[in-house]
Structure formats: C-alpha cells, structure tokens
Structure 1
Amino acid sequence: MHMHPKKRVSRRRFLAGTAALGAVGTAGCLSGSDLPVVGSSVDTEFERTDVELAAHEPPDVTVGGDTVTVTVRGTVEFGSSECGTVDLAHAEYEYSQERLDLLVVAADDSGVRTGCSDDLVEAGYRLEATVGEGFRRIVATEHHVFGQTYSTTVEGVD
C-alpha cells in the first residue's frame, strides 16, 4: 500500500500525540523505574581511524571493566573519497532491557558539491559509548555503501 507523503506525516503526528497523551495519563499510576524509557542517554565519542579490520568482518566490541563503557572498532566501505564518509547514525540505550544499540553507516557527505569521484573507500572507525547503567545486550551494526550489513551482538554482560 502506498500512502501519500503528506498523509503519512499527519499520521505520524497523530501517533506521536497519542503516545504522549498515554504517557501523561499513566504518569500517576506508574513509578518512573517501571516505565520503559528509550532515550539518548548515551555519551559517545566517534572518530575515523586507520583501517584495522577487513571491511567484510563484523565490528569488534569490547566491554570496559566498569561495564558501562563499550568500545567498537570496525571498517566501513563507502562511495567517493571526495563526497562520502563513515558516521555514527544511531546510539540508543533501552533501560528496561539494558540494551545498547549502535549503528555506523556509510554516509553521503557531499552537501551541495558536484563532481564527486566514483571510487570506493574503506575507513576504520572507533566508537566509545558510555551509559549510566550496565548492559545485558549490546548490538553494533554497520551498513556499507552497497547495502551490506555486518553486526556483532554481545549478550550476558552483567
């Protein structure tokens, strides 16, 4: 089913408003710790590095000794050394499941530039994510330029 873009926006606004009203309506009934909150309380540091892993290898995930810091290293292939880059697209911690989701992507960095090269480039990255709580599950995913996806899941990190 194809929906007109303007109708889709209105529907999203309706759903967002309904969800907000539902949260307000139950505010007096639930304590804050019982309500699962998905938020952006993840402190991240992201940097491009030299290539250390092959692009076809899944990301390397290491949990720090404090169990609230995760380091992810990997390599992502992207198009155009002049107009492309590697970027952190998503970092989210889900409190009720103690789950951290991280997404690193091949991104278009061209802006209004024209005449981008058509070469393929591999770039390494290092991502450090810290949350105030511990982890039970960490999922680090990479999306490469032609749709390849590589993922690492670490479970039971108490």
Structure 2
Amino acid sequence: MTPAVELVTDASAAAAALAPVLIDTVESGASVGWIEPPTHDEAVLWWSALLADPDTETWIARDGDRALGTISLVRAAKRNGPHRAEVIKLIVRREARGRGIAPALMAALEEHAAASGLTLLVLDTETGSLAESLYGRWGWQTVGGIPDYAVAPSGELGGTTIMFKRLAGR
C-alpha cells in the first residue's frame, strides 16, 4: 500500500519530519546538494529555508506521522517563466524504496502543476542513476548532460542530466 501524499501546509513540522529523509538519502550515496550528510539541525534549517520560499511547494509521503519521501516544485521567478517550474529533491528513505512512493510523489506534483496552469517542468539528476531511468519511464525527455557537475559523497565528480516534461495546457 502506498503511503499518503500531502502538500506541506505546516512548514515547521514538515522541516523536522523531512530532516531524517534528507540525512538518510545523503548517507545512502545521493548527494542531492550535499557532500557529507547534514546534522539533524543543519537538515532542519535547510528544509525550513526551502519551505519558507513562496515560489516553492513541497509534498510529503507519510506512513502515519513518519515522513518516507518528498518532492518539491520551484516556480520560475522570472517574468518570462510563469508557465514553468523546476522539480527538486525527489527523495525517498532507503527502507521505503520500491513501494511506489516516488511515482506517487511525482504524480501528485504533476497533477498540481497542471491544475495550476504550468505547462513545462524541468529537472536535473545524476547521470546514470536509477532516478534518471525512472524519469525516462515517466515520460521525461533528456535535453543533455553536463560532465563533472557535482562532487558526490564518495568524493568523485559526477555528471548531471537535464530533463523536461510538457504538461497538458489548460
């Protein structure tokens, strides 16, 4: 059974709930912007800042009170981009992977984005990762890649793949 997916409405509670998800993700080898896993306090501060951004909306997949995964949508801040947004931080705790949480989070985000009038989503992901193949299966198209884009937790440089998806217009 897929856990409930909900749009964040209480930023302070969500920041505390999402901190362990971020820490677990980095500990499992995904950098998602970090080289070393953040402390709990660093993770709460990071989530608090993201959740305070008025251009960002975040969803949480929960099993009871426990956050298992998350995804965020960041609307373009430029005047020429009211139709587009960036998808960031699709992350799922290791023990919850393979339960349909990532596709449920992406589906909730895409449904909301389309209903909000967005017609174009973009994202970047680690080249060669499981995430890259999942996005392809979900209808995302590859634009290209940038080699040596980010330092992974292993210390190695890794590439990033830029992808997009068109949503049905209103």
* TM-score relative to the length of structure 2: 0.28
The structure having more radius of gyration, on CA atoms, is 1
Relative contact order: is structure 1 or structure 2 higher (C-alpha 8 Å, sep ≥ 6)? 1
- Structure 1 or 2: larger strand share? 1
TM-score (norm 1): 0.30
**Structure holding more helix per residue:** 2
